[in-house]
């Protein structure tokens, strides 16, 4: 529905930032039957991006908001549409953020030579309601630093607008706008392709070469 509205009301798209996300403290399922954190954080952006690719203008940029938590993620595709599976809020979130990074790298390969770039980032630990209340309290009690939403948007805006990253694609950046190496699993091309194929199947999309 979102893609249809954008296609109806807008012309060519120069910038797409995928920043929707949740953390769920217990296992929930989307209306389509998928684990909700994965569905919201990965399948939604995957589907929206795929449905809008043909509307992107030359030199367009795609920015996927991921997280350093991807380094703790494991790719357990069998659990995504299982009715009953062990559930850890931390692992569910980490897996969804791993999927963001893997999707970025896989899409960058597919867009080579098309003058469209896609990158991903860790925004920092941002003090918004995305963080569970207990985790926010933990950070306050231990004196660990959190940043506000405006500072948390800096790397997203950097990747969206900075001339120095024009033409760069398939990269992962931290909250200081520095390029970093993603986890070994995130860089595993075979695992990226397994995720891509499963995501196409789950979202009823035809394969993209």
Which residues does the annotation mark as catalytic? 93
Q: How far is CA 179 from the centre of its chain?
A: 16
Residues 6+ apart with CB under 8 A from 65: 17, 18, 19, 21, 100, 120, 121, 123, 156
Residues 6+ apart with CB under 8 A from 123: 65, 67, 152, 153, 154, 155, 156, 175
Q: For residue 164, how many other CB atoms are within 10 A of its CB?
A: 8
Three-state DSSP class for residue 84: coil
Three-state DSSP class for residue 180: strand
CB 76 within 8 A of CB 131: no
Q: Element (H or E) spanning 44, and its range?
A: helix 44-52
The token pair that represents 12 in the structure block: 């060519």
170 conformational bin, left if phi > 0, alpha if psi -120 to 50, beta if neither: left
Place of tokens 């929206």: 48
């Amino acid at each position: 529905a979102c893609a249809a509205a954008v296609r109806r009301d807008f012309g060519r798209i120069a910038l797409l930032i995928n920043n929707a996300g949740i953390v769920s403290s217990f296992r929930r399922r989307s209306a389509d039957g998928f684990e909700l954190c994965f569905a919201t954080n990965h399948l939604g952006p995957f589907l929206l991006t795929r449905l809008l690719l043909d509307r992107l203008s030359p030199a367009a940029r795609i920015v996927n908001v991921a997280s350093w938590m991807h380094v703790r993620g494991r790719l357990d595709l069998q659990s995504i549409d299982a009715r009953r599976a062990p559930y850890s809020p931390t692992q569910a979130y980490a897996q969804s953020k791993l999927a963001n990074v893997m999707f970025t790298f896989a899409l960058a390969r597919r867009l080579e030579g098309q003058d469209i770039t896609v990158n991903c980032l860790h925004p920092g630990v941002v003090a918004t309601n995305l963080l569970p209340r207990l985790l926010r309290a933990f950070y306050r009690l231990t004196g660990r630093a959190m940043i506000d939403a405006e500072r948390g948007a800096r790397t997203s805006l950097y990747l969206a607008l900075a001339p120095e990253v024009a033409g760069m694609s398939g990269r992962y950046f931290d909250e200081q706008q520095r390029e970093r190496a993603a986890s070994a699993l995130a860089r595993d091309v075979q695992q990226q392709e397994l995720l891509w194929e499963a995501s196409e199947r789950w979202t009823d999309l035809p394969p993209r070469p």
